[in-house]
Structure 1
Amino acid sequence: MTTSMERPDPAGERRLDLAARAAWLYYFKSRTQEQIATELNVSRQIVQRLIALANSERLIRFQLVHPLAETIELAERLRDRFELVYCDVCLNESGSTEDVPSVASQATFYLENIIQQKAPLTIGIGSGGAMRELARRLPPMDRPQHRCVSLMGNLTRDGRATHYDVVTRLAERLNAQCYPLPMPVVTNTIEERTVLKAQSGYGVLRSLVEEATLLIMGIGYWGADATLYRDGFITAAETAQAMEAGGVGELLGCAISAEGKIIDADYHDRLTSFIRTQPADRPTTIVASGVSRAPAIRAALKGKLANSLITDENTARLILYSG
């Protein structure tokens, strides 16, 4: 015996058919509701209800037909997975596993929109190749009310300056106030770091970093060509020890694990950078690209050391689907 619940509903099916037809005409043929009403021989009010029914029954599936469609989807997935406050993924124009120029250009648009404001703004600046490229691409602007403050030192232990001195270049492009951190990234001794951090200038920069409304930086990785080692900030032995302790990434000179935890690296007690707390308490943006940096980016996002990301599509896929 057939129950009432098992009986077909011809009227309901016909209404869904009509709703599908109305939605097709509205979304895909760009007909107005008046035109649809005439074509289906119903009132305009019924057309509105049919389109609403098509949406509620999920008869409509939208597809964005644009080169950026996949990068927009990747950005949304990253934002959802890591609970980011901002994420932008650009097309990979180079065809390789790394596209610093494209990422830097995307980050330029991001920063340019922020610094348009007239109210005084303090920005904490990190280092790295992508950040240096960002500073080079930023158009000259007159923002003397803004302050650019470095988040980490710019010298090796023997006094040699790094070529990644981003804060000075960025401040020059903006005609902004510049606050570099002219001290070694890693000192020779704990006592030396204690003396340097006791200087009044360090206290001024620390206060500026604490009041900064935006922190933006690159990220490093560990290996034989790790940036900290290659640029002479730490020794081969210190690099090896950080890797053995589980380091997969380096943020502001600080070694982090795959889970985004600060590891027990020997050089940390001599590091002069302004290390951030977890979770990030303000917009903290990583600008980076490349297969070698993907594990480091993933770790920083997983550990909530950063809550914003600008990268390219290839790197985004690695962050999402590898590891």
Structure 2
Amino acid sequence: MMRQVTQKTEVDSSLAIRAAWLHFTGGLTQAEVATRLGVSGIKAHRLIAQASQSGAVKITVEGEISGCMDLEDRLTDRFGLTFCQVIPDLGEAGLPLRTLGVAGATLLRREIAALPDGIIGVGHGRTLAAAISAMPRIDAPTVRFVSLLGGLTRNLAANPHDVMHRLAEKTGADAYVLPVPFMANTPQDRAVLLAQRGVGDVVELAARADLLIVGVGTIAPDAQLVASKMVTPAEIAEVQRAGAVGEVLGHYFDRDGAPVESSLAARTISPDLATLRGRRIIAVAGGAAKVAGLRAVLRSGCLSGLVTDEATARAMLNDKNAD
């Protein structure tokens, strides 16, 4: 019985590779692939998706895009970045998860290859989750990933974007999580939690990370932090009243990039702002709703690098839309 299952798996895998080859290399439509292989259209779609998800499909586009390169240069100059990548716009409505997911996956693969024995700190959020989902399985057993934020929320089912276990699954690397809430009840409780056995080791590992990959949040009432129940509407309203427009790793900034003090920031379990200064921190972020927040975080000087989409880049450089 086990042999039959193994043989079926091998046949399906081989068929998936053949389907992907016909579609991506041969230029056949999915309907034409179905006809060629003698399977249904639905089966052909599933086979192509299976090959893509397994990492068998690797698409390379050679050449630079001059318009995006110009945006990269302008963003680098304006915000003092050492790295900037602008991805062509795919016309997505709202948060451009497909665009940023593919771009973020490319960034991760490149940095994993460049840091074979390195430590990579990772934040939370939909965009980083999309990047990891888009990343094929790769062998990186000596890389270490470490979470930069507490992972527990008030509602244990409310944080579907925990990226650490998926990174471990995709790479075979060790992934270290902070086994504490995203936010403590009080600043004093935060200090107690950070002093717990095992927690300090993860915090120390994050402090030694060679690279930090983060998302950027907004301060809107429907921000992802609120939607995921990591913070309450009342808590986000507090930082709004204080003038905050953007957030990264639980730290809030006003339109000029100045830190905004709040009880929310004082209770969030993440690296202190002072420890983030001068680090290699790359944000993967974009979307019309995030332009003001992303601009504020860039003005703070916390980021050394940015991966974003073309539409967001143009909006950030449009002085008429400046805050």
Aligned partner of 2:245 among 223, 248, 252:
248
Give the 3-state SS of the residue equivalent to 2:179 in structure 1. Answer: coil
Are the aligned partners of 2:278 and 2:302 in contact in 1 as well (CA < 8 Å)? no
Q: C-alpha deviations, 1:8-59, integer Å up to 9, x for none?
A: xxxxxxxxxxxxxxxxxxxxxxxxxxxxxxxxxxxxxxxxxxxxxxxxxxxx
Give the 3-state SS of the residue equivalent to 1:87 in structure 2. Answer: strand
Q: CA deviation at 1:80?
A: 1.0
Aligned partner of 1:145 among 138, 142, 147:
142
For residues 42-57 of structure 1, the aligned pairs below 5 Å read none
Q: Distance in 2 between matches of 1:215 and 1:67?
A: 26
Q: CA deviation at 1:278?
A: 7.6
Are the aligned partners of 1:97 and 1:315 in contact in 2 as well (CA < 8 Å)? no
Aligned partner of 1:204 among 201, 204, 220:
201
Based on CA coordinates, which of the two structures has the bigger radius of gyration? 1
Q: CA deviation at 1:118?
A: 6.7
For residues 230-249 of structure 1, the aligned pairs below 5 Å read 230-249=227-246
TM-score, length-normalised on structure 2? 0.75
Q: CA deviation at 1:221?
A: 0.1
Aligned in 2, Cα 1:160/1:269: closer, same or farther, shift over 3 Å?
A: farther
Aligned to 2:317: 320
The structure 1 segments of at least 4 consecutive aligned residues displaced by more than 6 Å after TM superposition are none
**Is 1:94 the equivalent of 2:91?**
yes
For residues 271-282 of structure 1, the aligned pairs below 5 Å read 271-277=268-274, 280-282=277-279
Are the aligned partners of 2:285 and 2:308 in contact in 1 as well (CA < 8 Å)? yes
> Which deviates more, 276-285 or 206-215?
276-285
Aligned to 1:25: none
Q: Distance in 1 between matches of 2:180 and 2:165?
A: 14
Aligned to 1:259: 256
Aligned to 2:307: 310
Aligned to 2:173: 176
Give the 3-state SS of the residue equivalent to 1:162 in structure 2. Answer: coil
Q: CA deviation at 1:200?
A: 2.4
Give the 3-state SS of the residue equivalent to 2:106 in structure 1. Answer: helix
Q: Distance in 2 between matches of 1:280 and 1:107?
A: 23
Q: CA deviation at 1:116?
A: 1.5
Aligned in 2, Cα 1:261/1:279: closer, same or farther, shift over 3 Å?
A: farther
Q: Distance in 2 between matches of 1:131 and 1:177?
A: 18
Give the 3-state SS of the residue equivalent to 1:142 in structure 2. Answer: coil
Q: C-alpha deviations, 1:142-200, integer Å up to 9, x for none?
A: 21111000000111135455111012212221110010112211122334322211112
Give the 3-state SS of the residue equivalent to 2:77 in structure 1. Answer: helix
1:247 aligned partner, one-letter code: A
Q: Distance in 2 between matches of 1:291 and 1:90?
A: 15
Aligned length: 258
**Is 1:164 the equivalent of 2:161?**
yes
Mark the runs of 5 or more structure 1 residues left unpaired by the alignment: 1-65
Q: Distance in 2 between matches of 1:179 and 1:223?
A: 30
Q: CA deviation at 1:207?
A: 1.3
Structure with the larger helix share: 2
Q: CA deviation at 1:267?
A: 1.7
Q: Distance in 1 between matches of 2:276 and 2:155?
A: 34
Q: CA deviation at 1:119?
A: 3.8
Identity score, percent: 33
Aligned to 2:35: none
Aligned in 2, Cα 1:157/1:304: closer, same or farther, shift over 3 Å?
A: same
Q: What's the C-alpha RMSD, in Å, of the aligned pairs? A: 1.9
**Is 1:225 the equivalent of 2:222?**
yes
Aligned partner of 1:268 among 252, 261, 265:
265
TM-score, length-normalised on structure 1? 0.75
Are the aligned partners of 2:69 and 2:86 in contact in 1 as well (CA < 8 Å)? yes
Q: Distance in 2 between matches of 1:260 and 1:158?
A: 31
Are the aligned partners of 1:220 and 1:251 in contact in 2 as well (CA < 8 Å)? yes
> Which deviates more, 301-310 or 249-258?
249-258
Aligned to 2:52: none
2:295 aligned partner, one-letter code: R
Aligned in 2, Cα 1:195/1:110: closer, same or farther, shift over 3 Å?
A: same
